[in-house]
Chains A and B, each alone.
Chain A
Amino acid sequence: MIVHHPSETTLLAYAAGTLPEALALVAATHITQCAACRRRLQGLQAVGGVLLDEMPPAAMSEGALDALLARADEPAAGLPPVLNADLPPPLDRVALGRWWPIGIGARWRPLQVGGSAWAGLVHAQPGRALPRHGHDGLELTCVLSGSFVDGTGLYAAGDVSEPEGDHDLPPVATDLEPCLCVIASEGMRLRGLLGWAQRMIGQ
């Protein structure tokens, strides 16, 4: 059962469409699996709907409607193809780089996204620490399989960690099985080996 959710302001930014793509992917991974957040998101999008209604209109150019009706038979744009069938949506349609070892029992694989934040998968063997990091912006982690603990609690599949300030205790994969997470951050500078890998691959 999912117990850790993204914050209200993160969901608001997601609803408004202003969350950087990397962070939006992690949020969407959680939302797709979490009925409670789907309801929260729907409410926030309804606020967007009301604000749209109340927008003072800006006149469209002459003939805009006719130009559009002439295109009425165009097919709708489809979704991009599934690239990684082993990952949950929407990560299944995002291009991935290669795995990079980041110390003993952990590895890292970047997601190829644009924008002002970056994202990637982290895989840690049971009992191994996930990379430590400090924060100077929003960071989101969603557990895909296995679980980890840090100073704030236990995070299992579907849970989202949205830390405020630096971690005191590094996240550690629990002993039962390997832990796979998707992490995105807009300002995090990773320390240690992952920081090195990050610099090597130019993120």
Chain B
Amino acid sequence: MTLDTPTPDDHAALIQAIAQRRDRAAFAALFRFFAPRVKAWMLRGGAGPAAAEELAQETMLAVWQKAALFDPGRAGASTWIFTIARNQRIDALRRERHPSTLMPDPLEEQESPVQADRVMAMAEQESRIRAAMAGLPAEQADVIRKAFFEDKVHAEIEKELGIPLGTVKSRLRLAMARLRAALGDLS
């Protein structure tokens, strides 16, 4: 495995090594790839450098602690780590206001047996989405990125891009339709 160009399969294997053996070398490899990306996502979402670093740390700590819950038949490695980072950010925002209402993840609540064909499908899912994103017109990819990474409501995207709200919504709908088509039976 080359750490410079890790594949989704490598990442899933690293998470499973943590789950099975508390493998610190596997965790270090995962940390080197994901922690700086989670930090960058937090920065883009408006967190200051110290808060972004702390949220990246908390995300990676949760990856270590929850590795046994990772189910490669339900989500790819990047998807799973994305949801953990997202939940860390939500929890951090809530703790500032309201300590009692941390929300369980509805996907985590579901019991389902791991199926080999689902594992294959999930491994393939991320690469199909990657290809579909690359094939989107720039302005459609842009509204998707803003919706995910910049914590902006549509009205703010509208202001920033200088295009009417109806256009933001229709770009988003077009982009989602293209991504749905790429996901096909997988979603």
| Cross-chain contact B187 with A52 (CB below 8 angstroms) | no
- Kindly supply a per-residue 1/0 record for chain B positions 44-59, scoring 1 wherever the CB is within 8 Å of any chain A CB and 0 otherwise: 1000000011001100
Q: Mark B22-43, 1 if CB is under 8 A from A, else 0.
A: 1010011001101111111101
Cβ-neighbour of B172 out of A9, A32, A65, A74 (below 8 A): A9
CA gap between A61 and B153 in the complex, in Å: 31
CA gap between A139 and B152 in the complex, in Å: 18
How far, in whole Å, are A89 and B22 apart by their CA atoms in the complex?
A: 31
Q: Could you say which interface size class chain B belongs to? A: 35 or more
Q: Which of B24, B109, B187 contacts A39 (CB 8 A)?
A: B187
Contact flag A52-B74 (CB < 8 Å), given A31-B106, A43-B180, A112-B98:
no
CA distance A133 to B169 in the complex (A): 24
Complex contact A64–B109 (CB within 8 A): no
Q: How many residue-residue contacts, CB under 8 A, span A and B?
A: 205
A55 x B153 contact (CB < 8 A): no
Question: Does A198 touch B at the CB level, under 8 Å?
Answer: no
A197 in the interface, Cβ–Cβ < 8 Å?
A: no
Q: For B52, B77, B78, B151, which residue has the most chain A Cβ atoms within 10 angstroms?
A: B78
Chain A contact-residue range equals 35 or more
Q: Is B72 an interface residue (CB 8 A)?
A: no
Q: Within the complex, what minimum Cβ distance (angstroms) separates A75 from chain B?
A: 8
Q: Is B103 an interface residue (CB 8 A)?
A: yes
Complex: A76 Cα to B58 Cα, angstroms:
10
Instruction: Report which residue of B97, B110, B125, B129 has the largest number of chain A beta carbons within 10 angstroms of its beta carbon.
Output: B129
* Chain B proximity mask over A53-81: 1 for CB below 8 Å, otherwise 0: 11111111100110111011011110110
Q: Give the chain B neighbours of A56 by CB distance below 8 A.
A: 40
Cα distance, A8 to B66, chains bound together (Å): 29
A43 touches B187 (CB 8 A): yes
The reply to whether the CB of B3 lies closer than 8 angstroms to some CB of chain A is no
Known interface pairs A8-B176, A18-B151, A21-B94. Does A40 touch B187 (Cβ–Cβ under 8 Å)? Answer: yes
Using A65-B31, A90-B106 as known contacts, say yes or no to A80 and B101 having CB atoms under 8 A apart: yes
0 or 1 for each of B117-157: is its CB under 8 Å from A? (1 = yes): 00000000110011001000000000011011101111000
A sample of 27 inter-chain contacts (CB < 8 A) reads A12-B147, A15-B86, A15-B148, A17-B89, A28-B104, A28-B106, A39-B187, A43-B125, A43-B129, A43-B183, A46-B75, A46-B76, A47-B129, A48-B79, A48-B148, A49-B75, A50-B133, A51-B148, A64-B35, A64-B53, A68-B57, A72-B64, A74-B61, A90-B103, A95-B101, A114-B101, A115-B93
Q: Which 6 A-B pairs have the closest CB atoms?
A: A43-B187, A49-B79, A57-B36, A49-B78, A114-B98, A114-B97
